[in-house]
């Protein structure tokens, strides 16, 4: 790609005790793209996402964000870069005792000195951008459907206007119609807000409809990065196994490949 890389991983090793999850892993994410991350079970996809988002420090290797070495920043520099990164956790991670409005406002309370009136204006804007009605603002998470929880979590992730959006299994637990609507929302917001999006997903419809490239994680590293239509043809054994049988479902078709 001709775009500039906003995230660069070089020689990354992640380990937990004696368990090496990633070894000598390298990957680049380009400005303005939607990059999907898939791979073998237990391959450390969420760990990789957290490494990119400065939520996990690797045992060795380099992480560069916006051209800066993320592992050698001053405290102030690190704070500024973290504010450009939005992370949406798999289960939404909303505070159960707070309303949607209060959940979305929370990062503004923590990181800004905006007036209460301006905070309220920003919060309601993000709630509407996430596709929720204004009435959802006064509800608690337990009063929301699964799709609404995802949208509320997305609104909170967007409230500080990040440049990069990290999504961990954003459509897990959603029915196909709701998941498709969420994919379309992310694509719309990416264009509207000039976002770079990195997502871990198992949803093949999401891979076909929402990503520009897909990185496949296996053998403790990235074994291929390509548009999904090219990736499904890759002969690597792990990739072939991933897309074989009932997983070999292509966008635009409504029948499963029987092989």
Any residues with CB less than 8 A from the CB of 133 and at least 6 apart, and which? none
Pairing of strands 196-200, 164-168: parallel
The Cα–Cα gap between 89 and 46 comes to 10
Residue 92, pLDDT score? 72
The Cα–Cα gap between 240 and 73 comes to 40
Reported in sequence order, the residue ranges of the chain that DSSP labels E, i.e. its strands, are 5-16, 19-30, 34-39, 60-65, 68-69, 85-88, 164-168, 196-200, 213-218, 221-226
Say whether pTM exceeds 0.85: yes
Q: Which residues pair with 85 in a beta bridge?
A: 164
Residue 254, pLDDT score? 35
The Cα–Cα gap between 5 and 1 comes to 9
Which residues of the chain have a pLDDT value below 70? 1-2, 245-259
Pairing of strands 60-65, 5-16: antiparallel
CB distance 221 to 45 below 8 Å = no
Residue 245, pLDDT score? 55
Most distant CA pair in the chain, distance:
60
CB distance 10 to 62 below 8 Å = yes
Pairing of strands 34-39, 19-30: unpaired
The Cα–Cα gap between 94 and 114 comes to 22
What's the pLDDT tens digit per position in 160-192? Answer: 999 999 999 998 888 899 999 999 999 999 999
With CA atoms as reference, report the closest residue to 209 among 167, 242, 181.
Answer: 181
Measured CA angle at 168 (ends 150, 10), to 5 deg: 150
The Cα–Cα gap between 251 and 205 comes to 7
Domains, the chain: 1-84+197-249 (3.40.50.300)
Residue 1, pLDDT score? 52
In Å, how far from its chain's centre is CA 61? 22
What is 154-210 written as a DSSP string? HHHHHTT--SEEEEESTTTT--HHHHHHHHHHHHHHHHHHT-EEEEE---HHHHHHH
What's the pLDDT tens digit per position in 219-257? Answer: 999 999 999 999 999 999 999 999 885 445 454 443 434
* Beta carbons within 10 angstroms of residue 87's beta carbon: 21
Residue 133, pLDDT score? 93
Residue 201, pLDDT score? 92
């Amino acid at each position: 790609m001709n775009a500039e890389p906003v995230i660069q991983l070089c020689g990354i090793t992640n380990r937990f005790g004696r368990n090496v999850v990633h070894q000598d892993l390298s990957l680049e994410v380009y400005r303005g793209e939607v990059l999907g991350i898939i791979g073998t079970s237990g391959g450390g996809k969420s760990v990789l996402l957290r490494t990119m988002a400065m939520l996990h420090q690797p045992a060795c290797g380099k992480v560069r964000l916006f051209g800066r070495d993320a592992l050698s920043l001053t405290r102030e520099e690190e704070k500024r870069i973290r504010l450009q990164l939005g992370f949406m956790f798999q289960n939404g991670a909303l505070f159960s005792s707070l309303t949607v409005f209060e959940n979305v406002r929370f990062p503004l309370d923590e990181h800004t000195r905006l007036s209460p009136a301006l905070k309220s204006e920003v919060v309601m804007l993000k709630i509407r951008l996430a596709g929720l009605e204004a009435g959802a603002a006064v509800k608690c998470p337990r009063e929301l459907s699964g799709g609404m929880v995802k949208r509320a979590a997305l609104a909170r992730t967007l409230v500080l206007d990040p440049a990069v959006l990290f999504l961990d299994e954003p459509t897990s637990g959603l029915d196909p119609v709701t998941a498709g609507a969420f994919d379309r929302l992310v694509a719309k917001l990416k264009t509207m807000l000039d976002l770079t999006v990195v997502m871990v997903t198992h949803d093949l419809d999401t891979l076909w409809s929402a990503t520009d490239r897909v990185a496949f994680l296996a053998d403790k590293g990235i074994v291929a990065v390509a548009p999904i239509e090219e990736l499904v043809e890759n002969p690597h054994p792990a990739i072939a196994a991933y897309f074989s049988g009932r997983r070999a479902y292509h966008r635009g078709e409504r029948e499963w490949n029987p092989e």
